[in-house]
Amino acid sequence: MLRLLLPLIIVLVLAGGGFFLYQNFKTKSAPQPTPSPQIVQTPTLTTQPTSSPTTSTDPCEVLTKGNADVPPLYKEGITWQKPAVVDREIGEFENPSTGEGFISTRKTGCLIKSTATLDLVNQLRNFYTEKLSNNGWKLVDTADGPSSFLITYKKDKRYILLNRMNDQIELFYAQ
């Protein structure tokens, strides 16, 4: 008799506990999401952006408008959030292909984020890789993963980082 009663008691206790948890989960209010940062909507263009001849020292202005050395913000099909000035740890290698001579530097610069599809991410990556290489920027760090990459370029004491984690894109410029 005890062998029949014990499993029944266990099932009832588990069912009662599950029902109790379900009721508590239903009645408690879910945490409210934090408001998203202000979104800057840019029109979709069919032409490649061109840089302006500005010589601004504001890193966010340089990142968004470009200058003689820095390409303007890639806008074709991408909606960027509002830029923000932040501190960022930047790693670089004297020889990125062998991983020799790692140096880490803390810089203040402009960070701008977006989300994009894989096709747009590849277009964005190709755009910056081509423009920065043509403008004399040196590749000092690169890493690729299944759904991510990090590319760091340096020219003089200025840095540009392009970072992808899943569908989140970050572009950082420090001077």
For residue 53, the model assigns a pLDDT of 46
**Spans in the chain with pLDDT lower than 70:** 2, 16-56
Question: What residues contact residue 157 under an 8 Å CB cut-off, 6+ apart?
Answer: 175
- DSSP per-residue codes, the chain: -HHHHHHHHHHHHHHHHHHHHHHHHHHSPPPPPPPPPPEE-----SS-----------HHHHHHH--SSSPPPP-TT-PEEPPEEEEEEEEEEEETTTTEEEEEEEEEEEEEEEE--HHHHHHHHHHHHHHHHHTTPEEEEEEEETTEEEEEEEETTEEEEEEEETTEEEEEEE-
For residue 109, the model assigns a pLDDT of 96
Q: Where are the domains of the chain?
A: 39-174
For residue 22, the model assigns a pLDDT of 61
Q: What is the pTM assigned to this prediction?
A: 0.66
